[in-house]
Amino acid sequence: MSWLISLPCTRDEAEALSGEVPALDALADAPVVVTREIDEAAGRWQLDAYVETRPGADLLTLLQALVPSAKGVKPSVEQLPDKDWLTLSQQGLEPVRAGRFFVHTSYHADAVPAGATPFLIDAGQAFGTGGHDTTAGCLAMLDRLAARGASPRAIADIGTGTGLLAFAALALWPRARAIASDIDPASIEVTRTNAAINGVALGQAAGQLALAVAPGTDHPAIRRRAPYDLVVANILAGPLITLAPDIAAATAPGGRAILAGLIARQMEPVLAAYRARGFRLAARGGSAEWPCLLLVKRRRHGWRRRERALHRASASDATFGSW
């Protein structure tokens, strides 16, 4: 990457840019867009877009349209020094220790602690390198479940991103039947690559990970394997609420769901959607800002096989990100 475009934005705008952005995805040379909080006290956020060639007026106009709060602000455009930005990005991602898990990039491959369960996940096209509080919270919750003696036999990771949470679940319960899905085909290819790197067997048998490109649970392979003792969905609040009927339908009575990707102020609406479908809150983990919820489905709410999902995503759901 040789050019950096920066614009101020709000937190809500930053969250909206954390998933798929069709306007950018349609570009032949789409920029790499990241958002970050630059002043917590003042609530100031910033959009940074990296491109390989000097940006034209059309791209600058498009980026400004994505952050309406910056209307009238001239984008900052600077040429970056000629460096190996991929290597630098890997150096900047510190390893994450969550329970027994140690998630690291190639740069930190020699730093694995004794006794840890390591996963090598380099930064790439998909979300879920372990560095975000939501992913780390899910890893810690999985570890917590195993420590308490849980033994799920059927596991689904909905919106898998890099595959990390599915890999962790199989490491804890190597005899389980597991499937990982994502609406983005690129995420499934990233998961396939990461599985090979981390020695995770792909396939349909117990102890292997099946993969599916699917919006939520809407895939024959996901329906065929239901009901699940454990469903993990580290996505965003909007899709979590949208998918509540489907996740409930796919979860066995007494089964568990780990939900993350929401911020603290979104917790009650998400919980309300799942309580209405027979779940109760069993534990809360994660961080204060990014909670990770462990839900248990009440046994009086049975499961029935369906041929189609109860809810299909509408076009407006896309603003909530990839799931």
Is 234 annotated as a binding-site member?
yes
Is 251 annotated as a binding-site member?
no
Is 10 annotated as a binding-site member?
no
253 contacts: CB under 8 Å, gap ≥ 6: 227, 297, 298, 299, 300, 301, 302, 303
- Count other C-beta atoms under 10 Å from residue 155's C-beta: 25
Q: Quick one: 230 exposed, middle or buried, by C-beta within 10 A (0-12, 13-18, 19+)? A: buried
Report the candidate in 112, 48, 128, 120 with the shortest Cα–Cα distance to residue 85. 48
Q: Quick one: 6 exposed, middle or buried, by C-beta within 10 A (0-12, 13-18, 19+)? A: middle
Taking the C-alpha atoms of residue 261 and residue 267, their distance in angstroms, rounded to an integer, is 10
Taking the C-alpha atoms of residue 211 and residue 204, their distance in angstroms, rounded to an integer, is 9
- Which residue type, as a one-letter code, is found at position 91? Q
DSSP state of 202: B
Is 194 annotated as a binding-site member?
no
- Which residue type, as a one-letter code, is found at position 169? A
Tokens of 217: 């649970």
Taking the C-alpha atoms of residue 264 and residue 64, their distance in angstroms, rounded to an integer, is 28
Taking the C-alpha atoms of residue 279 and residue 275, their distance in angstroms, rounded to an integer, is 5
Q: Quick one: 263 exposed, middle or buried, by C-beta within 10 A (0-12, 13-18, 19+)? A: middle
Q: Binding site for S-adenosyl-L-methionine, residues?
A: 135, 159, 182, 234
Q: Binding site, residues?
A: 135, 159, 182, 234
